[in-house]
Amino acid sequence: MDGEDVAPIVLWCHPRSLSTAFERAFLERDDDFVCYHEPFGEPYYFGEEALSSRYIADTNGHSRKALTYMQVMQEQVLKEHTAVSSIDGGEIKRKRVFVKNMAQYIVLPSGTAPHMQIEEGNPTVIPKRLLAKVRHSFLLRDPHKSIPSYWRMCVVGDASQATGFHFYDPNEAGYLELRTLFEYVRTLTHETPLLLTAEELLQDPVSTMHLYCHHMGVPFVPGMLHWEAKRIPSFDSWPGFHREAQQSFGFGKFVSPPIIHEYPYPKLVYDTIQMNLPHYNYLLKYKR
C-alpha cells in the first residue's frame, strides 16, 4: 500500500444495517488490511466505562474486565500493523486498519449531563484529536427493515437464544447516535463524510464498493465482493447476530426482506420505526 492513505478506516453504522457483510469484503483483503469487529462494543457494554445498561442485571458470564475506550483506540484502531508481503518478494509492508462499529458505542446517551463530556461540544467519549486521525464513513439502512430485524434478534425464539439478548430496547436502534456522530464528524473534519446505504450495496455492490474504495484511498479489488461461507472467529463475540454474514457467499446472496406494513410485530416496533424515521431521512439527504 505504498503511497496510499494509511489512516485507519472506520465504518460507522447502526444495528442490522448489513455492516457485517460490508466488513467481510475487507476481511477478504487480509494482505492489505487488519480488521477489527465492533471493538468499542467491549467498553460500551462491559467494564467501568459502560454506557449501556443491557448487562447490568445479567450475571450469566457477561460481567468481565474490559478494555477502556482509550485502550481500544491506541491498541487497535490507531496501532500500526506490518506484514511480509507474499506478492512483493517478501517486502515488509504496512497494513491499513479497517474498523466496523456501531455509532452508539461511542456517542454519549441523550440527556447526559454536560459535565460528563470529555470536551465541550464533543458528543462522543473519544477525544477529537484521536477522532481526527481516522477516515470516517457511514452505512445506513431503512428502519422499516433494520428495526424489525433487531427486534427478532432480541426476543424471538431461536434467534434470541442464539444472541443471548432477551429483551428489546428501542433506544438501541442507533439512528440518533449515527446522526449525532455524522454531524460531529462534518464539523470536526470540515467535510461531509461518505455515507452509503445498505440498499444500494445490495442493488449494485460493484459500483458501491468502487465508490467506497475511491473515497478511502485504496484500490478496488473484485475479489472483495465474494467470499467463502465459513465461521469468522471475530464474529463469535456476538453469537447469533452474524449468521447470515458467515453463511453467505457475497453481497448478491443476501435477501433484503420487504418493508413491513401489516406484519404481526408489536406496536413498540412500529413506534420505534416512526421515532427514527426523521433521523434516517435526514441522513439519507447525504447519500452519495
Bridge partner list, 98: 9, 35
- Phi, psi of 190, rounded to the nearest 5 degrees: 60, 30
In this prediction, residues 166-194 reach a mean pLDDT of 96
Q: What pLDDT, on a 0 to 100 scale, did the predictor assign at position 206?
A: 93
Question: What would be the CATH architecture of the domain defined by 9-284?
Answer: 3-Layer(aba) Sandwich (3.40)
State pLDDT tens for residues 254-278.
444 555 555 578 999 999 999 999 9
- The CA distance from 113 to 134, in Å, is 27
Higher pLDDT, 174 or 116: 174
Residue 7's identity, in one-letter code, is A
Q: What pLDDT, on a 0 to 100 scale, did the predictor assign at position 78?
A: 95
Share of the chain above pLDDT 70, in %: 77
Instruction: Confirm if 67 and 43 have CB atoms less than 8 A apart.
Output: yes
pTM of the model: 0.86
Structural domain spans, the chain: 9-284
State pLDDT tens for residues 22-69.
988 898 888 899 999 899 998 998 878 889 888 765 545 455 568 899
Q: What pLDDT, on a 0 to 100 scale, did the predictor assign at position 1?
A: 44
Top mean-pLDDT range of 31-40, 82-91, 173-182: 173-182
Q: Pull the grid cell for residue 158.
A: 431461536
Residue 208's identity, in one-letter code, is T
Q: In 3-state terms, what secondary structure has residue 240? A: coil
- The CA distance from 154 to 168, in Å, is 5
Q: If we measure between CA atoms, which residue out of 246, 245, 250, 235 comes closest to residue 202?
A: 250
Q: Pull the grid cell for residue 231.
A: 465461521
Query: What's the residue count for the chain?
Result: 288
State pLDDT tens for residues 232-245.
665 556 655 555 54
Q: What pLDDT, on a 0 to 100 scale, did the predictor assign at position 135?
A: 97
